[in-house]
Structure 1
Amino acid sequence: MPPYYCHDQATLLIGDAVEQLRTLPERSVDAVVSSPPYYFQRDYGVEGQYGLEATPQEYLDTLRLVFREVRRVLADDGTLWLNLGDAYSQRKAVRLSSHQEGLHGARGARPSWRESRAAGRARMSRENLIDGQAVTEKSLMMLPERLAIGMCEDGWILRNKIVWAMTATTPDPTRDRIPGKWEPVLLFSKSARYHFDTSTPGTDSDVWRFPASSGAGSHTASYPLELPLRCIRAGCKPGGTVLDPFSGSGTTGEAALQLGREYIGIDLNPAYHELAKDRFARRALTP
């Protein structure tokens, strides 16, 4: 299948992340910066989407498959920067992505619990199985940590667990715990020696202070542009190629192009690639 979009330094591929990664040559990218869909957080409205697996164990297993392919296509001196949020084991109905006209059921309101349940978009805590055991209700499931351990078993080297301290977040209505104001950014390499530019501003500490992204266009799950800019400056050689297997609205791509790198983005949903194309076009028109 030809690329969905290919112009100047940017290539966008449409389809499942694993399948599209398998079309790329070994050691063909120099850095990967990505934030996969979080577990049971949003419905992006496309068949085969990640994040809505039947159990968190299936979710972790699926992501490990993706990052095994990422490891194959990454150069020996390349880096992987992975942002992934955690989730609580609790009764929950998934939200529809804001690009859809969803969040409205047949009666012009949010879908009822029964409607969400019938659509496979609602879960009980007892269904949050990891290694065949339900995660205790209200407990954090430790998904970033579990994924990191699995990836290390697959041969990755975990070099940093960076704290992304969010300087501006939406209010958290929960009253029996401290509101979450940070997420991890995990730095992996596939070799003991890899490209890393220690002169990159901000890399003197593993606490990075950026605002929580308000979204790019209508893709509200994107991280702020400053985050991939820092990762690419530090972990991708000049003139190299940056990959995001969960490209979304193209935040990583915009950062890569701004820094003179080439970009390959993969996504299942053509609507997000259209957002990315618009971003790249606006950037090209900016003096």
Structure 2
Amino acid sequence: MEKVALKLKLPNVEKIQRDGALAVGGSTIFEGDALTVLRRLPNNSVRCVVTSPPYWGLRDYGIDDQIGLEQTMPQFIQRLVAIFSEVKRVLTEDGSLWVNIGDGYTSGNRGYRAPDKKNPARAMGVRPDTPDGLKPKDLLGIPWRLAFALQDDGWYLRSDIVWHKPNAMPESVKDRPSRSHEYLFLFTKSEKYYYDWESVREQTENGGLRNRRSVWNIKTKGFAGAHFATFPADLIRPCILASSEPGDFVLDPFFGSGTVGVVCQDEDRQYVGIELNPDYVSIAVDRLKGVESNVVRISVG
């Protein structure tokens, strides 16, 4: 694999072409399209995958080939299924996939989304039409649509975790409860897989320990310079502890600002991050500075 030293501004990151296999000898960030990079990674090379793909129709990150602005919801789901199919090949036979995915509501065929008084950042100038079969104001149900699609594609769907956000973003709605949760799904490649349940036990009211439950109360935590969808380290850490051992490789095909890498550093794991947006690659590199890391940019041709 072609390697380069960690650099904050990334001016000299070496470009490589889209042909040929990639080897991963240590923690690495790949700047490029997730599917393109995944197709070049070796079989059975990572023990655990923790990721949060872009949500459909909720944000425009202003970059070509981004996921989340597909014209239809089935196109979005199938694009993720294709990516996770490659993830399955890259995953060890006893490996696990943790996917955090949020939901949304139909647009009513409006080509924009107005700002909420309590959340101005939600505004965007492009938005997909209401999917066939759904009505204005319908909840899309994307998390479960994706979960069932991955199950149909051969993944074992082992758990649905409700991520309860005690400090959830307020909404100005008056005709439904304000949303304060997202889903985190645990998938496995095989019927039998590595899971260290003791490492993620939770404390009981009387001070004892018990098997971790399926509702996790974890506050959202912003990060300066990153997009609002950064998922917190406290959500990632139990996934990595339960599904990998020290020295294992952990993959995030939607690396964003690099929080999975930060947790891997804390827990003595190697990370493999894939990120399309060069601005987020720069943020991740800045957060992960001070340790040996490789940054590889996958060029178009």
Q: Pick 1 or 2: higher relative contact order, CA cutoff 8 A, min separation 6.
A: 2
Kept in 2: contact 1:3–1:12 (CA 8 A): no
Note the C-alpha offset of 1:90.
2.1
Kept in 1: contact 2:69–2:127 (CA 8 A): no
Q: What is the one-letter code of the residue matched to 1:169?
A: A
1:43 aligns with 2:43: no
1:201 aligns with 2:189: no
> 1:283 & 1:94 partners in 2: Cα distance?
41
> 1:278 & 1:194 partners in 2: Cα distance?
34
| C-alpha spacing 1:180/1:259, structure 2 compared with 1 (3 Å) | same
Note the C-alpha offset of 1:65.
0.5
- So what's the TM-score if we normalise by structure 2? 0.80
| C-alpha spacing 1:198/1:232, structure 2 compared with 1 (3 Å) | same
Structure 1 stretches lacking a partner, 5+ long: 97-102, 104-109
Q: What is the one-letter code of the residue matched to 2:66?
A: Q
Note the C-alpha offset of 1:282.
6.1
Identity of aligned residues (%): 38
Which residue number corresponds to residue 247 of structure 1? 255
SS in 2 for 1:63: helix
Number of aligned pairs? 258
SS in 1 for 2:186: strand
Kept in 2: contact 1:6–1:12 (CA 8 A): no
Which residue number corresponds to residue 264 of structure 2? 256
Which residue number corresponds to residue 137 of structure 2? 138
Note the C-alpha offset of 1:137.
1.2
Which residue number corresponds to residue 221 of structure 1? 229
- So what's the TM-score if we normalise by structure 1? 0.84
Note the C-alpha offset of 1:9.
4.4
Q: Deviations over 1:61-99 (max 9, x none)?
A: 100001101011000000101000011112452699xxx
Structure 2 stretches lacking a partner, 5+ long: 8-24, 116-120, 203-210, 293-301
Q: Deviations over 1:212-245 (max 9, x none)?
A: 2323532221111111111100111221000000
Q: Deviations over 1:151-188 (max 9, x none)?
A: 11111000000010101122111110001111110000
Q: Which piece of structure 1 moves more, 201-210 or 25-34?
A: 201-210
Kept in 1: contact 2:107–2:137 (CA 8 A): yes
| C-alpha spacing 1:6/1:70, structure 2 compared with 1 (3 Å) | farther
> 2:92 & 2:5 partners in 1: Cα distance?
24
Which residue number corresponds to residue 272 of structure 1? 280
RMSD of aligned Cα (Å): 2.3
| C-alpha spacing 1:154/1:145, structure 2 compared with 1 (3 Å) | same
